[in-house]
Structure 1
Amino acid sequence: MTERGSITIRPGGPADAPTVLRLFDSAIAWLVERGRPEQWGVDPVSTDTRHIARADAYAHGGGLHLAEIDGTVVGALVVGDATEHVPPATEPELYVNLLVTDRAYAGRGVGARLLAHAAELARERGLGLLRVDCFRSADRALVRFYEGCGFTATQPFTVIRPGRPPWPGQVLARRLD
């Protein structure tokens, strides 16, 4: 039995794709309200076929894990292989492909708990490196969040997107051994 209000983590599956889209839509609305549309844009992803397909791939890919509080999904984590826009690792790793939380639960440690779960998964697989990338804003707010969770900023990068502004990113790494 879990304590009321505690965070539990469960594996995700095919039925959870709409939940991932809901979390994205909520996070985008929160970012836009705070004048930070550069990270994920301004439009809900739940109506975009490209994002719907990505959420479906996450849900079917075996790397989706969901955080719940009192039975409500409040965060999603996807782990797997690094994406093509980041420099490759020099050793075997586990890569955080997605971390998104419900901002209605801000301050409850949902993101940090999901990252701790990712570290547990990496250790279970005998891996000593966990990496993630994130939006690198001028104030480095998200980079600082990951640094607060034990990651160290490594390589900055920029994704060039046709017809849209470049997306500045930051790779972060956490040693697990």
Structure 2
Amino acid sequence: MSETRGRLTVRRGTVRDADTMLALFDDAVRWLTERGHTGQWGTAPFSAIPQRVQQVRGWGAAGALRVAERDEAAGLGLAKVRVDCWAGGGGALVQYYVRAGFTPVETVQVEAWTGRVLEVRV
């Protein structure tokens, strides 16, 4: 995962984006697992879990998938983009987003899971 600078474009994802999204989830699971942080999504790649594959493909089919690309999101009328992520494991994932230009704005607690909401102005 590398730091990206520039404008951010968010587009509606489709089923055609599902394999790319699954690969990104697989990379994230691998990255977190290598660092001993399994509290976000466990240790199994998303692409190896039929329910996860179906979920991501369903998001694409329903138009509920969003793909963020650095470019010109303001043209879509967006003032900011928000993401949420796991805040455990020493905050390494939060710091990844901070290095990418996001600012933490809120902490979220869902049962035993602690997350951070971050945003970037576009």
TM over 0.5: same fold? yes
Distance across 2 between alignment mates of 1:52 and 1:28: 14
CA RMSD of aligned residues (A): 2.8
**Does structure 1 residue 24 correspond to structure 2 residue 32?**
no
The within-5 A match list for 1:24-103 is 24-62=25-63, 78-79=66-67
Higher relative contact order (CA 8 A, sep 6+): 2
Where in structure 2 are the equivalents of 1:92-171 lying within 5 Å? 114=69, 116-117=70-71, 120-121=72-73, 123-160=74-111, 166-171=112-117
5+ unaligned residues in a row in structure 2: which ranges? 1-8
2:4 is matched with none
Question: Is the counterpart of residue 175 in structure 1 residue 90 in structure 2?
Answer: no
Name structure 1 gaps, 5 residues minimum.
Answer: 1-8, 65-77, 80-95, 97-113, 161-165
- Alpha-carbon separation, structure 2, partners of 1:151 and 1:11: 21
Distance 1:138 1:19, change over 3 A: closer
Q: How many residues align?
A: 113
TM-score after normalising by structure 1: 0.52
Relative to the length of structure 2, the TM-score reads 0.70
